[in-house]
């Protein structure tokens, strides 16, 4: 599996967790940076979430 990259906006390591559907998060594997609080990535499969996180746009 692909290695998880740091947050593209602040460079910190993102947090990862599985969540059942809640009022705040979708069901699935979540990746989010809680330092700069950018919107999170959520996918059912961990490898899909990592690819989605790693290919998001870099900060300007």
Instruction: Quote the tokens at residue 36.
Output: 């700069």
Q: Look at the chain and report how many structural domains it folds into.
A: 1
Global pTM value: 0.77
Q: What is the pLDDT of residue 60?
A: 57
pLDDT value of residue 8 = 86
Rounded Cα–Cα distance for residues 29 and 17 (Å): 6
Q: In terms of residues, how long is the chain?
A: 60
Q: What is the pLDDT of residues 1-55, one digit of tens each?
A: 689 999 988 999 999 988 887 777 678 899 999 998 887 888 888 999 999 999 9
Note down the domain range covering 44.
Answer: 1-60
pLDDT score at 12: 94
Cα 23 to Cα 14: distance, rounded to the nearest angstrom:
21
């Amino acid at each position: 599996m692909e290695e998880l990259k740091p947050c593209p906006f602040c460079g910190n390591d993102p947090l990862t967790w599985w969540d059942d559907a809640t009022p705040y998060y979708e069901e699935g594997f979540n990746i989010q940076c809680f330092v700069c609080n950018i919107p999170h990535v959520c996918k059912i499969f961990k490898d899909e979430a990592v690819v989605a996180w790693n290919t998001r746009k870099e900060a300007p």
